[in-house]
Each structure stands twice: as C-alpha cells, then as structure tokens.
Amino acid sequence: MALFELTLVLLLTAVALTALSRQLEIPYPSLLALAGVAIAFVPGAPTIEIDPELALALFIAPVLLDAAYDTSLRDLKRYRLSLALLALGAVVFTTVVVAFVGWKMAGLPIAAAIALGAIVAPPDAVAASAVLSQFKVPHRITAILQGESLLNDATALLIYRLAVSAALGTIMLSNAIPVILLATIGSVIAGYLFGRVSLLTLGRIEDAASSTVVQFAGTFAVWIIADKLGLSAIITIVVYAITIARRAPRRMSARRRVSTYSVWESAVFVLNVLAFVLMGLQARSIVGRLAGDGQGEAFLFAGTVLVVVIVARLVWVGSYVAIIRWLARLGSQEARRDLPTFGGAVLVGWCGMRGLVTLVVAIALPADFPGRDPIVLAAFAVVLGTLVLQGMTLKPLLRWINFDPDRSVDTEVAQARVAIMQAALDVLSRKTSAAAAVVREQYEAQRLIAENPEDAQAATEYDRLRLFAINRQRDTLEELRSNGTIGDEAYHRLEEEIDWAELAASPAGSFQPLTTS
C-alpha cells in the first residue's frame, strides 16, 4: 500500500514539475531526474526489484512504438547518411570508448564493459524535443534527432543483448555476427507481418476504448513473441510501428484516432515517471551496498563515464560534419546546398541527453551480472548529468546559435491544405442544394487563405475568429443545460461537435480563443 500511495504522490508531483518545466522552458525529464534522485533520500521508501525481461517489455515497447509511429520515412531516406553516422557510428564509437574506460578504470570484464557502453550510448530525443519544439530550428535537425533516437535504440540494445549474453556465458562474441544478421533480417520480416495482421484486426474494431486496448496488447505481444523467437524485439517493434503508421490512420475514425493519441501520450508520460522513480529507489540500494572505500571509487567512475559520454558525442558529430563539408567541396554546387552547419553540429552534439531507454536497460541487468552495481550507478549518473547539464542549457545554446526561423513544415501544411480544400470543392461542384452552397463557401474561404501562406496574419486571424465564435457557442450551450432547455445527452453530443470544430481551428494548440466578454 505504501508503494501505491508513493506512486500516486509522485505522479501528481510529476504533473506539477511538467507545468514548471513549461514555465522555465526546460525539458520535463530534467526535473523528473532531479525528483528521482530526491527519492533516494526519502526515509522509509520501499525497495523494488523488477524482473529484467518485464522491465524491457513494460517500459521500452510502448515508448518505442510511440516514437516509431511518428517517424517520417521521407526524412529517414533524405537524411540517411547523417542518421547512419549517428545511429550506427556514434553508438558504436561511444560504446567502444566507454567500454575501454570501464575495462581500464573499473576492471570490468570486456563483455560487461561493452554492455555498459551500449547502455549509455543511445540519446533520447524526448528531452531535446521538449525544448526544440519551442523554437523554429531547422527541420533537418529535428528530423535527424528524432530518427536517431529511434534507430540508435535498436543498435545499442542489440549490442547490449549480445554483450549480456557473452558476459553470462550463453554466447561468444566471436560468434555474434551470424546472430546479428539473423536477428536483423528476421526482425524486419516479422515486424512487417505483425503490422499487416494488426491492420486487419484494427480495421474491424469501431469502439475507441477497445481499439486502444488492442493496440497496447498487440504491442506487448509483438515484443514478447519476437523475444521468444530469438529476434530483436527492438527492430521488430520499430518495423511494426512504421508499418501500421503508414496505413492505420486511413482505417481509423476520427474519434478513435483522437482517443488513441491521448491515451498513448499519457501512457508514455506515466512510464517516464515510473522509470525515474525506479531509478531513485535502485540508486539508494546501490549506494548502500557500495558504502565504504568502494563508494568513492564508484562515484569517480560514474562521473568519468558521464564526461566521456558527453565528449565522445561532441567529438564524433563535429568530426563527421567537418569531413562531410570538406568532401562537399569536391562536389557540385547543388550538393553543397543542404550541408550540415557547425552550428547545427554543436546543437546535435549537445542534444545527447540520455533518458528512459538507458534507465530501463540498466535496471534490467540481471542481479548476478558482473559489475552490476557500478554499471547501474554510472548509467544513473549519465542520465541525471546529461538531463540536468545539457537539458537545462539547451535554451541559452539555441539563443547563442540563433538559427534562422525554419518554416518549411508550415509551407508544406499550407500547400497540402490548398490541395485538400480544392478536392472538397471539386467533389461538391455538382451539388446544387442550398446546404452544398454553404459548405462550398466555407471551403472556398479556407482555400483562399491557404493559398497565401506568406500572409500569416490572415491565417491567424481566421483561426482566432473561429475560436472566438466557438467560445461563444460553449457559453450558450452551458446556458441551455443550466436552464433546463436541453438534457445531458443532447449537451454531450453538441459538446463533441464543438470539440471537433475547436481541434480543426487550433491544430497545433498555438491559438488561444478570444474572450466573449
């Protein structure tokens, strides 16, 4: 019961910290990390031991699917070189450097040192996105960071699995290449097949709540089956998510889609909170076991790993950007247009905050794993250090770099809006009723505004006026229910209609309704 009460308190605390992070314009995971450390000093807090396999499935599977669902295949193809150098090159480079430090400084076995390197190698884009979304940074950078955070998890966790198996004696590192090839190819095929089956299932479900439950159950099922088959559960989930993301939206009703997105957003937030709670509780027990002479050495080792992780990423990103720019001098003028800049390299290098994946994978190490305590402590130090040091300095860094505002996505939205409005007008062109004329007039007005994307003021005013009218509609609806003119059933049906209209008028939540007073 004490654990349940503590969890409720921490969830409410996390909500307050999230609101505070918006006020301070810093990533909410940074404040969650500090709260997780504070838990280590709470007297009487319970000790929690979680099964390693359960930890990976419970925390990683839904978070990975959520990230993969929003991944753009177009951007993955467009920035494939940068993504490969980060998701593969940076992960391997960081793993090797950290493994060397672990082997030399802490005396870890080679396999255990590699496992440590794989644990701390993959950055988490959640913290970076929380800040970058507030600024008009180049779309290239945000796309690369989001794609990297998805693909580097697969790379790092594949290395982690092999290293853990080697450390426990179930596989030899010299035999790892066939295992990697089999796991990769098989996981891609399995993920695609699972995605197709999921699409057939979801297409037959109309109830929003049932659809959401099936999605969560399917996600965990895909992870468990892939793991049982000896495949890479990470790669399988990523391919599975991308497969359904390309086709599921057209097969889902608007009500199901809005409901599902809201539930997934809340679930990912709760999983982040619980992971930091586990971090604090585990850190306290580890520090207790390391009491004495070994404690100072463990903290020194953890701090060293933190510094190495930050420096390794900056060195890698800076080096490959310098090489790409140097090679581009030998190419055509067109090839030099979309080159990465050194300002972008600094930002990408500094956006190396570690988060949920590092936390959960560290917690998931078997209890008898060699060097588990110093490894987990080092992983916690890397998560806390990067989130606090890098996360809280992203905003001033962005102001110092001072990127030109990037409106490429806004332009694409405007172009697509013109096309879909014209499609609606075309299909209504043969309708001659009075209702059709009213609908055509509405679409025509929206198309005219969308045809002038440079006139941002007109688009803003259009949406503000719609929200102004919607706000008045809500007031009137409340009055009708209050004076008994309508009952609750009619009230909720009209409320839903107004909600959809408000969502259409403020798709990004950037417009605030005018007051009607």
Q: Please give, one letter per residue, the 3-state secondary structure of 374-410.
A: HHHHHHHHHHHHHHHHHHHHHHHHHHHHCCCCCCHHH
The yes-or-no verdict on residue 510 having pLDDT over 50 is no
Q: Report residue 512: phi and psi, to 5°.
A: -105, 135
Tokens of 342: 């050194």
pLDDT band at 52 (very low <50, low <70, confident <90, very high): low
Q: How many whole angstroms separate alpha carbon 336 and alpha carbon 410?
A: 24
Q: Where in the chain is the domain with CATH 1.20.1530.20?
A: 1-405
Which residues, other chains included, contact 144 with Cβ-Cβ below 8 Å and sequence gap of 6+?
Answer: 75, 79, 82, 83, 86, 348
pLDDT band at 313 (very low <50, low <70, confident <90, very high): very high
pLDDT digits (tens, 9 = 90+) for 104-163: 998 899 989 999 999 999 987 666 666 676 666 788 888 888 888 878 887 888 888 888
pLDDT over 70 for what percent of the chain?
A: 84
The yes-or-no verdict on residue 424 having pLDDT over 90 is no
The yes-or-no verdict on residue 494 having pLDDT over 50 is yes
The stretch 177-184 carries a mean pLDDT of 72
> Which of 254, 205, 226 has its CA nearest to residue 154?
226
**CATH of range 1-405; options 1.20.1640.10, 3.40.50.720, 3.30.56.10, 1.20.1530.20:** 1.20.1530.20
Report yes or no: 145 and 126 within 8 Å, Cβ to Cβ.
no
The stretch 496-512 carries a mean pLDDT of 65
Task: State residue 12's pLDDT score.
Answer: 87
The residue that leads in pLDDT, 251 or 303, is 303
Task: State residue 454's pLDDT score.
Answer: 58
The residue that leads in pLDDT, 513 or 475, is 475
The region of weakest confidence among 82-86, 296-300, 509-513 is 509-513
CB-based contacts of 129-136 (< 8 A; 24+ apart in sequence): 130/21, 130/26, 130/27, 130/28, 130/29, 131/25, 131/26, 131/27, 131/391, 131/394, 131/395, 131/398, 132/351, 132/394, 132/398, 134/25, 134/395, 135/398, 135/403, 136/403, 136/405, 136/406, 136/407
> Which of 225, 234, 214 has its CA nearest to residue 67?
234
* Predicted structure pTM score: 0.78
Task: State residue 509's pLDDT score.
Answer: 42
